[in-house]
Amino acid sequence: MDDLNIRKTGRAGRITFTRARALNALSHEMALAIQDTLDAWRDDPQVELVIIDAEGERAFCAGGDIAAVYRAGLAGDHALGQRFFADEYRMNATIADYPKPIVAFMQGFVMGGGVGVGGHASHRIVGDTTQIAMPESGIGLIPDVGGTWLLSRAPGRIGEYLALTGARMGAGDAIHAGFADTYLPESEWPDLIARLEATGNLSLIEGQDPPTAPLKTSDLSAFAQETVADIIDALEQAGDAQTLKILAGNSPLSMAAGLVMVRAARNDARMQESLAREYRFTHRATEATDFLEGVRAQIIDKDRKPRWMADASPDNVAALLAPLGMHELNLGEMA
């Protein structure tokens, strides 16, 4: 397909995002193509490892291409979005459990759907331009694509902080938070890729000392509070106006649900459990949350003035995370 360059070179299967002008946003068709490719290469003796990278300097993948989901939801078609999220999450789970090494080279923006592709690879390489984030609270969604699993395993209260604020991480913070493994200047990536293609030897991945990680020394104790309201109170007492301003612009429902979900994911034994919980929210997102309004304000009209209306009460969060019955996302077959 035009948006992906899929080929085999030497010992490696190669998947390259080629939508640089669209910041390599992940469409439904791209998610299905990645799934089909990984399925085909699973038992292919020619493919010893998989390399995922992207064209363009600005982004590895800046998120999911959700314009079609927005338009369908606005017209009352909620099934299109449900299929997109379900297929995307299956692809995320496939990457996480893949029996062969997957090496992701993540430059520039790596957000939302981009984290779902690169963040679950077995070998995750970042560079000086890397900016990783889960900014879904700003569009009325929740950290998905296995994001709650990754956030739940970040040290201290970094997971809660990132889920509620959508803050961006450079290479040092991404490694500290568990979203990446290796720092290597991007000028050295082409040579490493060529050597991996030729040899299949993962020991060639030799990183350098990463840049500083500001999150290591940040006081995030406010994010240990029980509720979003309690967190806001603690931030007010600490005089953290900058963080308070960010939270004031995000969806109250998304923050409340995200907080619950990151903490619930800490008890998950496998990422598939986190994905299934995320799907309960996103299955209902176009019909019963702030998602359509968030996409309108941030992506469609770009007025940056969302009118958040969804109920952020604990009862509504619980309802949105309740099992889906016959629509539950079952990824158990990937165990």
Q: In the chain, pLDDT over 90 holds for what percent of residues?
A: 97
pLDDT tens digit sequence for 294-315: 999 999 999 999 999 999 999 9
pLDDT tens digit sequence for 67-99: 999 999 999 999 999 999 999 999 999 999 999
**Of residues 329, 268, 255, 264, the one with CA closest to residue 84:** 329
**Of residues 104, 73, 69, the one with CA closest to residue 87:** 69
Q: Is the pLDDT of residue 333 over 90?
A: no
Instruction: Give the residue numbers annotated as catalytic, written as ranges.
Output: 64, 113, 136, 144
Q: Is the pLDDT of residue 288 over 60?
A: yes
What residues have CB less than 8 Å from 4, skipping those under 6 apart? 15, 16, 17, 18, 30, 33, 34
Q: Which two tokens stand for residue 132?
A: 């990783």
CA–CA separation, 66 and 81 (whole Å): 8
For residues 30 and 4, is the Cβ–Cβ distance under 8 A?
yes
For residues 197 and 11, is the Cβ–Cβ distance under 8 A?
yes
Q: Is the pLDDT of residue 325 over 80?
A: yes
pLDDT tens digit sequence for 121-164: 999 999 999 999 999 999 999 999 999 999 999 999 999 999 99
Count of residues making up the chain: 335
- Mean pLDDT, rounded, of the chain: 96
pLDDT the model gives residue 1: 74
pLDDT the model gives residue 268: 97
CA–CA separation, 245 and 258 (whole Å): 18
User: Mean pLDDT throughout 45-54?
Assistant: 98
pLDDT tier at 181, thresholds 50, 70, 90: very high
Report the first-to-last Cα separation within the chain, whole angstroms: 29
Which domain range does residue 241 map to? 4-334
The count of domains in the chain is 1
Q: Is the pLDDT of residue 332 over 90?
A: no
User: Mean pLDDT throughout 317-332?
Assistant: 94
User: Mean pLDDT throughout 209-232?
Assistant: 96
The CATH code of the domain that includes 310 is: 3.90.226.10
For residues 139 and 295, is the Cβ–Cβ distance under 8 A?
yes
Q: Is the pLDDT of residue 190 over 50?
A: yes
pLDDT the model gives residue 334: 43
